[in-house]
Amino acid sequence: MQKPTMATAKSLRSPLFIPFLLLASCLSSANGEKFKANVTIANGLAYGFYRYTCPQVEFIVRKYLMQVYRRDVGQAAGILRLHSHDCFVQGCDGSVLLDRSPERTELPNLSLRPQSFEIIETLRQIVHSQCGRVVSCSDLLTLAARDAVFFTGGLDYAVPLGRRDGVTFPRINQTFEDLVAPTAKTTEILTKFARKDLNLVDTVALSGAHSIGIAHCITFEERLFPDRDPTMEVSLFNSLRQVCPAPGATAPVWLDFRSPNRFDNLYYIDLMNRQGIFTSDQDLFEDPRTRPTVISFAANQRLFFRNFAIAMTKMGIVDVLTDGQGEIRGRCSMRNSDVNDLESVVEQDLGPSSSASI
C-alpha cells in the first residue's frame, strides 16, 4: 500500500509508540481489570462467556494482535473499521467476513483492508486449535477491535461475548443503506446511527475512531474540487490538493495528521481547527447539535475514552445472534453449510478412487 501522506508539516510520532516493555505489560493485563460500560447487554451475551469453554481466549487474541500491530500498527485501524462495518450491516454477526456476501463487493467495503480478514481468520485458527470450535468469528472481531483501540493508546474496556455467526447474507444495497457516506451531513449521520440505537453522544464518540488510520483521496474529493469546501482550513486544503491533485486520485492520507497511529482525542482538536478529513467528520463541529460534544471531547480525553467504550459496547451488541441462533463458523469467510457443499463438490471431483488414495 502506498504510504499515507502527512497533510501538514507537523511531525509524525513513531508508528509504534508503545515501547516493548509496555506491550508486555499490556499482554499480562489481557484478563485484568477493564472499564465496563454501564450498558444493558443483549440477552445471551455475557462478560466471561467463555470462562469454561475457552478461558484463555482474550489472552490468545491479545498476544497474537500484539505481534501483528507491532509489525504494522496500521492494521489496528483496519480491524476497528471492519468491526464497525460488520455491526452496522445486519448486526455484529460476522457477515462482513463472508466471501460470497454482497456486502463484500459493495463500494463502501471495497476499501476494507484485505489483511484485516486474514488477521481474523488466523486468530480463529489459533483459538479453535486450542479450544475447539466454540468461539465465533464475530466475537473474535469484536475482541480484536477492542485490542486495536487498546494497543494504539485507548481505554481497555470489557467486552460482552457470546455472539454467534450469521448464516444469511444482507440484501443487495443494504451496505449503502446502513453505512454512512463520508459526504453525509450530521442529520443523516444521526438518523442512521439512531436506527442502531446509538444516540448523539455515541455518534460523536464513535466518529472519534477516525483518530487512527487512513482515507483515500476519492472519499473526500468533493471538498477539494472544483473549489475548497469553505469549512476546510486553508493549509489543510493546500496540503491535500498536493496529495490529491485531481478528481479520482487514489493516494491515502492520514485521518488525524496530529497523531495518525495513536488513539486519542486530537481528532476533535482537528475538527475545531476545521481540519477534519470527511464532510461527515467536519460537520459534527459545524452542526450546533453536535458541536458541544465535540468541544467537550476535545477538552477532556478521559471523557472521550469512556464515551467511546460505552458507544463501542452499544455498537457491538447491535442485532447480535445468540444462544441457538446462527452458528460458530469453522472458517470465518464461509458459512458452515457452504464449507460442507464445497467439500462434497471437491470429493465428487476427485472421485471415490482418488479420494481413497489421499
The verdict on 262 binding ligand HEM (CB under 6 A) reads no
- Return the residue of 98, 209, 309, 328 that touches ligand HEM, per CB under 6 A: 209
| Closest separation in Å from C-beta 155 to ligand HEM | 13
Helical H runs in 216-300? 234-243, 266-272, 279-286, 291-299
Site string for ligand HEM, 52-91 (x = CB under 6 A): ----------------------x--xx-xx--x-------
Phi, psi dihedrals of residue 252, rounded to the nearest 5°: -90, 150
Whether 136 and 329 have beta carbons less than 8 Å apart is answered as yes
The residue (of 215 and 328) whose beta carbon lies closer to ligand HEM is 215
Catalytic residue among 83, 85, 128, 210: 85
Q: Chain centroid to CA 1: how far?
A: 19
Whether 189 and 202 have beta carbons less than 8 Å apart is answered as no
Decide if 216 is catalytic: no
- The amino acid at residue 234 is V
- Return the residue of 189, 266, 298, 321 that touches ligand HEM, per CB under 6 A: 189
Q: Is 308 helix (H, G, I), strand (E, B) or coil?
A: helix
The verdict on 210 binding ligand HEM (CB under 6 A) reads yes
Crossing angle for the helix pair 186-194 and 200-207, to the nearest 10 degrees: 110
Using CA atoms, how far apart are residues 137 and 99, in angstroms rounded to an integer? 14
Crossing angle for the helix pair 291-299 and 279-286, to the nearest 10 degrees: 100
- Return the residue of 61, 65, 66, 180 that touches ligand HEM, per CB under 6 A: 180
The residue (of 155 and 206) whose beta carbon lies closer to ligand HEM is 206
Number of Cβ within a 10 Å radius of residue 134: 15
Nine-digit cell string for 43? 440477552
The verdict on 309 binding ligand HEM (CB under 6 A) reads no
| Closest separation in Å from C-beta 196 to ligand HEM | 10
- Of 112-141, which residues contact ligand HEM (CB under 6 A)? 113
Tell me which stretch binds ligand HEM (CB under 6 A): 24-32, 203-211, 256-264, 289-297: 203-211
Q: Is 249 helix (H, G, I), strand (E, B) or coil?
A: coil
Catalytic machinery residues: 85
Binding site for ligand HEM (CB under 6 A): 74, 77-78, 80-81, 84, 111, 113, 180-182, 184, 189, 206-207, 209-210, 212-216, 219, 255, 278, 280
